[in-house]
Amino acid sequence: MSDRAAIRLRDSFQDVVVKMAEGNPGAVTVLMRLLQDDKMLEILGLDDMNIRGTQIWVAWKGWAHEDMETFLNGIKNRSQEMVDAVNAEGARGNHQEVAVCHGASFTR
């Protein structure tokens, strides 16, 4: 079970960004861009994949190469390739949480 704070229905957009970014400025940038593009469901998709903080930046920069279409498709399709890239970076000590294709939000 994860120690990550659960996203709640009563949370403001700011609350969601703070919880999801986990203090990572790159993640804040990506999340704000998603919000500007009305992609709140995709942000919740990241949460359900247990992708937060540094992991968001790894998925955006390292896996999607800063391409929004690739990034969104990875979230929408629950890309195993994206999850594997995020987890490979974690295995190098970048983060401890494990990304999954779905279901992480139900364990909090």
pLDDT tens-place string over residues 38-51: 999 999 999 999 99
* Total-model pTM: 0.91
Integer Cα distance of 43 and 49 in angstroms:
10
Q: Confidence band (pLDDT; 50, 70, 90) for 12?
A: very high
Domain span including residue 90: 13-107
Neighbours of 81 (CB within 10 A): 10
- Report the alpha-carbon distance of residue 47 to residue 40 in Å, rounded: 11
The structure tokens listed for 19 are 């919880």
Q: Determine, yes or no, domain membership for 2.
A: no
Overall domain count for the chain: 1
Find out whether 47 and 105 touch, Cβ atoms under 8 Å.
yes
| Cβ-contact 100, 47 below 8 angstroms | no
Q: How many residues does the chain have?
A: 108
Query: Residue 60: inside a domain, yes or no?
Result: yes
Residue 3 lies in a domain: no
Tell whether 98 is covered by a domain. yes
Does residue 58 lie within any of the structural domains?
yes
Q: Does some domain include residue 1?
A: no
83 occurs within a structural domain: yes
